[in-house]
Amino acid sequence: MTVSLFTLLVIDEKMTFEYENCKLPLIDKKITNDRDLANVLEDAIINGYPILIIAEDNEQDVASTLVVNNLRGSLQATAVKSPDFGE
């Protein structure tokens, strides 16, 4: 199975990420803007848990929002494109 991963959202140099006790939102559509994730991201930041977002696809703006929050240290988040979505 192949999973598309935004490389800037990867945690280590081995191109992997590892979270403990993370939330796993499954989104059955393309995430077109960061407002689509506002509640999920806010809850993760407030409660301090990492998230792995699985969606049909993500716009670049969404990836940028996640990267900025990861770099600030306010959030641990990774977004992946779901494998074989809709097939």
* Fold of the domain built from segment(s) 4-81: GroEL (3.50.7)
Report, as an integer, the average pLDDT of 46-65.
Answer: 88
In this prediction, residue 77 has a pLDDT band, given cuts at 50, 70 and 90, of: confident
* One-letter identity of residue 65: T
Residue 3 has pLDDT above 50, yes or no: no
Residue whose tokens read 């993500």: 58
The mean per-residue pLDDT over the stretch 76-87 comes to 75
36-40, 55-59, 63-67, 80-84: range with lowest mean pLDDT:
80-84
Task: Specify the pTM.
Answer: 0.75
| Domain residue extents for the chain | 4-81
Query: From the CB of residue 85, how many other CB atoms can be counted at a distance below 10 Å?
Result: 13
* Angle, CA 62 vertex, CA 4 and CA 41 arms, to 5°: 105
Instruction: Give the least confident one: 9-13, 30-34, 43-47.
Output: 9-13
Residue 11 pLDDT: 56
